[in-house]
Amino acid sequence: MKFPTSAFKAYDIRGKVPEELNPEVAYRIGRAYADFLKPDKVAVGYDIRLSSPALAEAVAQGLMDGGAEVLDLGLVGTEEVYFATHSLDLDGGIMVTASHNPQAYNGMKLVREKAKPISGDTGLRDIARRVAEDAYARSEDHSLYEQKSQRYDIGDQFTRHLLGFVTKAALKPLKIVVNAGNGAAGHMLDNLAPHLPFEFVKINHAPDGNFPQGIPNPLLPENRHQTSAAVVENQADFGVAWDGDGDRCFLFDESGCFIEGYYVVGLLAKAFLDKEKGAKIIHDPRRTWSTLDVVEANGGIPIVSKTGHAFIKERMRKEDAVYGGEMSAHHYFRDFAYCDSGMLPWLLVAELVCRSGKPLSEFVLKQQAKFPISGEINLQIDNPQLSVKKVLDHYASTAVAVNQIDGISMEFSNWRFNLRGSNTEPVVRLNVESRGNKALVETKTNEIMALLKADAELPLREGARK
């Protein structure tokens, strides 16, 4: 019998429960992971989704039947699995989560030693093949779980590590709205709070797998109002909202205005370059001019990488880069095992605000005006790669620079764009930016959209995918 593997994606596992992902499939994933890596000890954690504890128990059973010991982290954020894997020198880690996906979904993120990602090119396809084809059967020894599974609370170690990124003496009282989105961020905040001079206004803080306020995904404009309104109502210094597994945070300034992740990349780059002149900063190619401007002005070395966590992390290791950022609000840190964190960005921003005495808006208004953007526009198209080539051919003769690291990035004297086709679905993603001319952004966006219009179906909402 072949088991379904449609939940296996390019970088992780995401599927509907129970059709694509259920305890039996989860068990087989644990067995296949153990066969593939031959690990001695693996960390397992899970998010707040109602199906997550059962899936975590099943994947742990598969790991143990495959010869591994399991460190059971319980309910955690994804970054806590990364941290435990690296800091405790484990052989791997598995986080059961579907992040911001709809409630009917669940999934898994897999890493190996030193929290290195396992994606399609580095083992995920091999694990999928084993799940589909190998003959696995559960052990009948029910004492195995107690023998080879150890409950472990990573919270205190994780909190101490986070605090090491900021100078506590520089921190001053701030009022911060925090929206955990009924997700995995709440307990991480609670662990940090006693060590910080901040007043937290908490909304949607308690874990609730029913997601009464909707699936946590602040990239969707309709999911931002609560945080924005709470900032204004409480006269807070800024606001923070997290996605469903806590590994991405989104910032709101003191007026409740949402700050695009693109401008936060420059903000965090500056924070690191203030402490380490000449450091290397990794960024994705979708939007670049603002990041280049900030990094170069602050004595850093900007390096572009293909979009995606596996590519960013690999390039950061190769370059020994201190920080890497994507416009999708994934932020990566050298001293966090080159992994992404949703806790570190707001902590570093809080330190910037405290040191400067300036409101958060002052750090981004200049860049927003200097390099206006279109926002990411997603369109369903039958043949994404053909459409990308059509746009490339149209602008090739007038572009001053063309880069094909990830889709096509084409630059002109005062505007640029990136257009990329999805590898997993019939979608193209468009980003346009200019040098100080918002009207030009709109004009050029409409111009490219007209080229694509004949091939396109309905636009997807911005931020519909992570």
Which two tokens mark 339?
Answer: 């992994």
Which helix H or strand E contains 281, and what residues bound it?
strand 280-283
CA distance 322 to 317: 9
Strand partners, 185: none
Catalytic, out of 6, 51, 87, 99: 99
SS3 content of the chain, % helix, strand, coil (to 5): 40, 25, 40
Phi, psi for 158 (deg, rounded to 5): -65, -45
Residue 413: CB atoms within 10 A of its CB come to: 8
DSSP 423-442: SSSSEEEEEEEESS-HHHHH
In terms of DSSP bridges, do strands 175-179 and 149-151 run parallel, antiparallel, or are they unpaired? Answer: unpaired
Q: What whole-number distance in Å separates Cα of residue 180 and Cα of residue 230?
A: 13
User: Would you call 99 a catalytic residue per the annotation?
Assistant: yes
Contact between 168 and 350 under an 8 Å Cβ cutoff? The reply is no
What CA–CA distance (Å, rounded) separates 239 from 226? 10
Peptide linkage before 18 cis (omega within 30 of 0): yes
Question: Are 119 and 310 contacting, i.e. CB atoms less than 8 angstroms apart?
Answer: yes
Distances in whole angstroms, Cα of residue 288 to Cα of each of 194, 253, 260, 411, 431: 38, 22, 13, 10, 10
Place of tokens 């939940």: 7
315 to 36, 284, 392: CA distances (angstroms): 24, 11, 26
Question: Which residues participate in catalysis according to the annotation?
Answer: 99
